[in-house]
Amino acid sequence: MLKYLLLSLFVFEYAFSEVSYQFIVATVSMEKLLNNSLAGKSIREQLEDINNKEKTDLIDLESKIKEMDSKKNDDEDIRKIENLQVILYDMTRKKRYQIQEAYQIALKKFEQKVQEIIKEIAVEKNIFIVLPDDIAIYRSDNCKDITNDVLLRLDSSMQEVKVVLEKSKE
């Protein structure tokens, strides 16, 4: 009962106070920032290059294994080929993990910069809260979309994020 009374008093005070509080809400599209910014494009391009190189290396190794398989003579050769296939599978799994880890590190750097820029813009425009646009169920016309503002600042301050594959620890 006391909670409702206090809440009512707060709402009454807010509604009739001489100081007008304006809670400005804005949204930002992280997907648009990642797809259209220079930094986001650089991440995607580097990942494509890394994937293509790693894929080529693994395909070459697989071709050599198939060639050996076609020339197998005895049980010893079969065991060697099976061992190489296991090694190839393990290498593929490790490379996928390395690429995913490198992507996560690059994405984290990207997101940190985006958050920094969002905070700057929110302070400048007296925005109370900024939400990702994909979680908003409803968005009124009064809700600002600051994606383009963030995109402009991001492109001027961060053109590239390096995607670095860590060396295998094994």
More confident of the two residues 3 and 26:
26
Helical packing angle, 147-157 and 75-124, nearest 10°: 110
At residue 146, does pLDDT exceed 50? yes
Question: Looking at the domain assignment, is residue 164 inside a domain?
Answer: no
Percentage of residues of the chain with pLDDT beyond 70 = 86
Per-residue confidence at 167, pLDDT binned at 50, 70, 90?
A: confident
Cα 40 to the chain's mean position, in Å? 9
Q: Check which CATH number belongs to the domain holding 135 and give it.
A: 3.30.910.20
Cα 152 to the chain's mean position, in Å? 19
At residue 160, does pLDDT exceed 90? yes
Measure Cα distances from 141 to 24, 32, 151 in Å.
12, 20, 21
Region 20-25: mean pLDDT is: 73
Rounded CA-CA distance 5/9 in Å is 6
More confident of the two residues 67 and 113:
113
Q: Regarding beta strands 129-132 and 144-145, do their DSSP bridges make them parallel or antiparallel, or are they unpaired?
A: unpaired
Give the domain range for residue 129: 22-157
Question: Looking at the domain assignment, is residue 48 inside a domain?
Answer: yes
Region 132-146: mean pLDDT is: 84
